[in-house]
Amino acid sequence: MTSARGSSAPTHRFLTRILHAFAQLFLAVLLGWTACPLLLSAPPPDPRDSLNLDSKTQFTPRHYPDLKTWETRKAVLRRQILVSAGLWPLQPRPPVPAHRFGKTAKGLYTVEKLALETLPGFLVGANLYQPAKLSRSAPAILVAHGHWKQGRTHHAEDYSVPALCANLAAQGFVVLAWDMVGYEDTRQLPHNFGDIPEELTWLFSPFSLQLWNAIRALDFLESLPEVNRFLIGMTGTSGGGTQTYLLAAVDDRIRAAAPGGMVSAIFQGDDVCEMAPGLRIGTNNVELASLIAPRPLLLVAATGDWTRNTLKVELPAIRSVYALYRQERRASAAMIDAGHNSNRESRESVYAFFQRTLARRFLYAAPPKESDTLPLPVREELLIGDAMREKAAATRAAIRAAWRAMAVERTAAMSEPQLRERLAALFHVWLPDQVTTVESSAELVLLRTDTGTPVRAKWASPPGAETAGFEIIAAPDGLACAECLRMPAEAAPARARLLVETYKAASPEPPFRLERATFHRSLLSERAQDLLAAVRYVAGFANGKPVVLSCSGPVRASCLLAAAAAPPALPLELAGGLDAEATAGLAESLNQPGIAYAGGLPVLFRLASRGAAAAETAATMGK
């Protein structure tokens, strides 16, 4: 068995890249026209119409001009990972309950059966490998397994977790290996849960739970008296490689990382535990792995899988980030002439890396080789079996309830700025710093300078000397909305009215697909982005006068989202307020992945009301 993934050739989206390049060139030209609108006979094309990213898209790595720019981006990406997992902001955590099931002596090391209770009633099977003799606290390694059939107990020529862990322990490391969800001893949940609405709204998914399990595994390992908590590394291959770079990206307690077989510009991972809504919007595995900088990093690559370009594409891109810290040599790679693997040669590159970076041995000597005489544990010495099943009694519903309770507790402890920051990060909506104006013969085009996305608009009632406020109007029929163009008599002298056409305003939200949601905003979010572009445009000359968002049909939910995500200093309000009639039907439109984790309608109402008490319906809706 070579791999549970199989091989897949990367698809090079040539046409998409050409269109994107055209949009970027177009934007660059427009940036010189900020003060003076450009007259066009037709609106520019919308780059969203040609955007079609997936796990097999070929990405071009980004390069950053200076450390300050990168550190700002780094903070955004770290938050993006944790928000996509339903874990931001991380809260203080109690010690991990650990159930022990016996230890076996294997000569130079011992191996113990463990179950970590990462949520009340949810147990994760694990094995703790330790050197047989320890005179002082030792460096430690977390080992995350990949999608091979037998998980943490899988032992074959091309992939062996027991060989990796046993040799590391014999070399002086304390090692912890644990199950993916749905593997070996950890079967209270299947590997592909999280596919029902109740779970999606709380971001209760394999991706989320596995990142949480990795955090708790690190918490446990760090707490052991045998472990030097300042010398902890992590490694894993395939799906274990994904877990490695993600945990190391968000947790600085990982001092050195060696992800295998997953840091690639041509493949991002296609298992359910490697994808989450919003996770890779605007980013990819290469950039996410760069978050490990400036800590030591080893990319374990292979000529026969999607990491085959590591030495000429991924490593140079990541080193360009390390160069900002003047630490290029801390990023390295091992290229193995094999298929997708964690074979002996790959494992030996990992041994040498951790000996060099954590144990600081073999700096000038030959690197360690895998022992041919070291006894390896057999499967029965690693599995807990019936004893584990007797303790792991919580049902899927009970585990989901524990996850939900953790999210509710997190929300209750958050400040209003944190709530707004999380909401904006979850839906990927924000107020742009700048909007340029393009004029055609009959309308305006508002162009966001951060994303290059255009918004068609026209004044139904332009501002004048007596304008007391502004109204931004969005309807499903866009600029063709005849009703929107009628001026209410009482509003005529006081309010300028801008009609906007949000992206695919009349289209229903398509059925949820995890891979698409991983790389693309929802229609709800795209429309909210367009409304915030209009808010930025109007606020530029409103001089503190009130701005009202007035929406109808499917766009109403995006109005609420835009108002909630907008900075509280803006004098922004929703037409009709937040009473029961104005908000009827919003719950269904806002039934998006993560909405319950973000606090649901009560939090959206609270933020959209600019800090004032929400209507009585806000207290009861969304519970």
Output DSSP code: residue 359. Answer: I
Amino acid identity, position 153 = T
pLDDT for the residue 365: 65
Cα separations (Å) of 577 from 449, 474, 536, 539, 566?
Answer: 31, 16, 21, 20, 16
Q: What is the pTM of this model?
A: 0.90
Cα Dmax for the chain: 91
Q: What is the pLDDT of residues 263-286, one digit of tens each?
A: 999 999 999 999 999 999 999 999
| 3-state secondary structure (DSSP) of residue 219 | helix
pLDDT for the residue 393: 87
| 3-state secondary structure (DSSP) of residue 236 | strand
Nearest to 266, CA basis, from 444, 60, 479? 60
Q: What is the pLDDT of residues 308-355, one digit of tens each?
A: 999 999 999 999 999 999 999 999 999 999 999 999 999 999 999 999
Nearest to 312, CA basis, from 380, 266, 246? 266
pLDDT for the residue 362: 57
Residue 486 exposed, middle or buried by CB count within 10 Å (0-12, 13-18, 19+): exposed
Q: Are strands 174-178 and 435-439 parallel, antiparallel or unpaired?
A: unpaired
Nearest to 302, CA basis, from 335, 342, 331? 335
Residue 428 has pLDDT above 50, yes or no: yes
Cα separations (Å) of 619 from 420, 612, 615, 622?
Answer: 18, 13, 8, 8
Residue pair 465/490 in contact by the 8 Å Cβ criterion: no
Beta strand spans in 396-494 (E): 435-439, 444-448, 454-461, 469-474
609: Cβ–Cβ under 8 A, 6 or more apart, which residues? 578
Q: For residue 501, give the H/E element and its range.
A: strand 495-501
Residue whose tokens read 């499917």: 554
Residue pair 130/109 in contact by the 8 Å Cβ criterion: yes
Q: What is the pLDDT of residues 76-85, one digit of tens each?
A: 999 999 999 9
Token pair, residue 385, equals: 């079996």
Token pair, residue 263, equals: 């840091």
Q: Are strands 454-461 and 469-474 parallel, antiparallel or unpaired?
A: unpaired
Residue 491 has pLDDT above 90, yes or no: no
Residue pair 279/268 in contact by the 8 Å Cβ criterion: no
Greater confidence, 507 or 244? 244
Residue 3 has pLDDT above 50, yes or no: no
Q: For residue 208, give the H/E element and its range.
A: helix 206-223
241: Cβ–Cβ under 8 A, 6 or more apart, which residues? 144, 146, 259, 260, 261, 262, 263, 300
Rounded to 10 degrees, what is the CA torsion of 159, 161, 163, 164?
100
Poorest-confidence range of 228-237, 355-364, 395-404? 355-364
Token pair, residue 524, equals: 């709800």
Q: What is the pLDDT of residues 104-119, one digit of tens each?
A: 999 999 999 999 999 9
Token pair, residue 282, equals: 């605007």
Distance CA 317, CA 296 (A): 15
Sheet strand arrangement including 138-144:
98-105, 109-119, 122-131, 174-178, 138-144, 227-237, 256-260, 297-302, 331-336
Distance linking the first and last C-alpha atoms of the chain: 48
On average, the pLDDT of the chain sits at: 89
Q: Which residues pair with 454 in a beta bridge?
A: 447
Greater confidence, 578 or 457? 457
